[in-house]
Chain A
Amino acid sequence: MRLEIAGPPHLKQKKNTSGVMLDVIIGLLPATAASLYFFGLPALILILTCTLTAVISEEIICKIRKQKSTVSDLSAAITGLLLALILPPAIRWYAAILGSIFAIVVGKHIFGGLGSNIFNPALLGRALIAGAYPAMITTYIEPGQTQAITEATPLMLQKFDGQLTALGQLFFGNVSGSIGETSAICLIIGGVYLLARRSADWRIPLSLLFGVLVISTAGYLINPDFGPPLFHLLAGGLMLGAFFMATDPATTPVTKKGRFIFGTACAALIMTLRYFSNLAEGVLFSILFMNAVVPLINRYTRPKPFGRDKK
């Protein structure tokens, strides 16, 4: 009788890393479907381009780093999909490919691969495109249009023209914007799924959304020109950012207190940028900035062990 020897516990939960990642992909499906519905073929091409490029980059870089392929953990596919969803439909293919490669190579593997990266790779990919092709990234089109007729996003309209988009439209997603971020309802459905499956922690999305609600309500009361609170909750990349970007485990705090701080600080930064900067949107840079301070947050929110937390 040959017996196996291993330390306890002799039980482990079913879900492994790829299970967690699969939940993220499933959570993104409603928003992906909405992007196809509103933006059609260009959205499909964009999603396929980004996802495939990300996966192939991952495979190649694993070869170069002489490590086992990590494609099957699905994290590269998520990075590609997320990047596609935060790009405008009229983006050119070479920009999308460049962004995807950058996200995987610089965003992830330069730091040591999955789990070691400091910044959210997809956001970093978009930041590169925003820097390299500033005109392309701000060219949005109306849903259903095949030709690129430049159309301002709801946040741009509100900020620069004082024009408010109907909340119903924002809720369902029939507005111009990045392909995956327009439909709030689809993102909420996916986000709730992600939280219910415990594949993301609720503390960051809830504190982020609550923070935005509080700040925008205060802002609206002070100056109605800032736009109503519901508008700020539904418009732009907020829902996608709150549920799928700010919950990326590797780039967010590991302490419970830290996650509340992270979410609240993101909210404050987002609203500051939306109110006072020259940009219409602030989600991308807020989350990237907060990513950078995560080690600091972890350090100062280290919990006291059971029984030591009281005097």
Chain B
Amino acid sequence: MLKLTEHKYPQQALKSTEFLSAQKLYLPLTQHIGKEAKVCVEKNQIVEKNQIIAESSGLISAALHAPMKAKVLDIKKYPHITLQKTETIILEALPEKESKVSSEPAQLNQASKESILEKIADKGIVGMGGAGFPTHVKLNPPKKIDTLIINGCECEPYLASDCRLMAENLIEIFKGIEVIFKLTSPRRVIFAIEDNKTEAIKNLNLVTHTKKFSFPAPEIKILKSRYPQGGEKQLIYSLTKNKISCQMLPCDSGCLVFNVATCFAVYEAFYYNRPLIKRLVTFCGDALAEPKNLWVNLGTSLRELADKKVIEFRHTPKRIIFGGPMMGVAALNLDCSILKTTGGILFLKDSPRQLKEEESACIGCAQCVDNCPINLMPLEYAKLVKNKAYTDLEDFYIKDCIECGCCSYVCPSRIPLLDYIKLGKTKLK
């Protein structure tokens, strides 16, 4: 695994703030892995806050809710950060009376497993670390779970939202873990965190020593900061030395991994019936006047954030990246909106020199081989794709690639190996 320059400060030390008053919200039906959600509202309909606007449409799918009282402006194809254009529900916020009704939290010991699962499925929760796998599916594993792993690694440089959540909302995260624990009844719980998150680690020690929860105190594993350690299978390997191939599921080795933000969403859903309608997002990078950790409604567009000066530019950004710099996707323009899986957005004023250098011949240094967490031979993919020998790609196990980008990162010849791999994968389909 790679040791990267972290760039976690100052954003990691900044208290979170919120901006929950966007006027227009763009909510794509696909914000998760699996089938896209099915629209259940009509154009011009008025929807209440938390109302379901698109429902789960299959075994692996997730529902979508209105983040605020709003009018459905349109349902049409709209730019999406990873899928070029996709069906999107566009909402226009309507004035809303502050509801002062504070509801009593639900009782965990009185709830049945089925009712909890149903509740979580209804609230549209997906894995918030980036993969976006529907959480209710994961919470109903086909096998006995031995180890429940809570993932607070956040191994991508720059991103700080998970760290802030652990520093500010750890008790809620633990209450979320209680719910997950009840559903999966594992033998033990491991809380994994990387050593660069000092504030979160301090809080973690404090909470585990002073508060009691309905599950045995988690083992806190402080890992050295490495990339891509936050990946599900890499994390399981770091903690348990179990290797899980691309044809297996984590539960095949008795493990189940949840991101801390997902645990928080589970807490909100179970105790307060709140669907997943907002999330904590890190906004940072050298093009911003000041970095921020913001609670924003899903569907908030970057354009509105910029227009309302919620985020201000010190320099005109040249590259805007949804996600971390290693796996994040470059945005075409400011029209893209915050999704369930968006943990951070990077605004860079210029590309570093290394990204501008031209691709040169492969010298066979094998750094890509040495640094591949999956033991693949990325240099071969580039050769095969260039020669259009796509059918040979499978001899080199191209489908095992997790697209972490380590190979492109280390290549001294600046060969965009990951681009070749992605191209090769599409040719194989």
Contacts and interface: CB of A to CB of B under 8 A. Distances in A.
A255 interface: yes
Interface in A51-90: 70, 73, 75
Given A3-B332, A16-B413, A113-B361, A255 B321 contact: no
B369 interface: yes
Given A254-B379, A306-B233, A17 B413 contact: yes
Contacts of A249: 363-366
Nearest to B409: A9
A203 to B, nearest CB: 9
B320 interface: yes
A7 B376 contact: no
B244 A8 contact: no
A250 B363 contact: yes
Contacts of B233: 306-307
Interface stretch (B18-26, B102-110, B145-153, B346-354): B346-354
B365 A20 contact: yes
A8 B418 contact: yes
Instruction: Give the interface SS of chain A, mostly helix, strand, loop or mixed.
Output: loop
B333 A304 contact: no
A249 B410 CA distance: 15
B360 interface: yes
B245 A201 contact: no
Nearest to A4: B319
Contacts of A166: none
Contacts of A250: 363-364
Interface string A6-49: 11111111111101100000000000000000000000000000
Contact of A256 (B245, B370, B376): B370
A8 B363 contact: no
Contacts, number: 161
A12 B351 CA distance: 11
A3 B318 contact: yes
Interface string B270-281: 000000000000
Contact of B245 (A7, A254, A306): A306
Interface residues of A, number: 44
A16 B409 CA distance: 11
Residue among B330, B366, B413, B414 with the highest chain A CB neighbour number at 10 A: B366
Interface residues of B, number: 65
Instruction: Give the interface SS of chain B, mostly helix, strand, loop or mixed.
Output: loop
Contacts of A310: 243
A161 interface: no
A249 B403 CA distance: 25
Contact of B369 (A1, A6, A12, A254): A254
B413 A305 contact: no
Contacts of B377: 254-255, 302-303
Interface in B336-366: 346, 348, 351-352, 354-355, 357, 360-366
A114 B361 contact: yes
A116 interface: yes
Residue among A5, A11, A201, A255 with the highest chain B CB neighbour number at 10 A: A11
A183 interface: no
A115 interface: yes
Contacts of A8: 321, 323, 325-330, 403, 405, 408, 418
Nearest to A200: B365
Residue among A5, A116, A305 with the highest chain B CB neighbour number at 10 A: A305
Contacts of A3: 317-320, 330-333
Given A7-B422, A16-B357, A250-B364, A305 B374 contact: yes
Interface of B: 4, 157, 233, 237, 243-248, 316-321, 323, 325-334, 346, 348, 351-352, 354-355, 357, 360-366, 369-370, 373-377, 379, 396-397, 400, 403, 405, 408-414, 416, 418-419, 422
4 closest residue pairs by CB, A with B:
A307-B245, A9-B405, A254-B366, A12-B354
Interface of A: 1-17, 19-20, 70, 73, 75, 113-116, 201, 249-256, 302-310
Given A8-B327, A12-B355, 16 more contacts: A2-B318, A3-B331, A4-B330, A6-B355, A8-B403, A10-B321, A10-B325, A11-B4, A12-B408, A16-B357, A17-B413, A115-B413, A249-B366, A303-B377, A307-B248, A308-B245
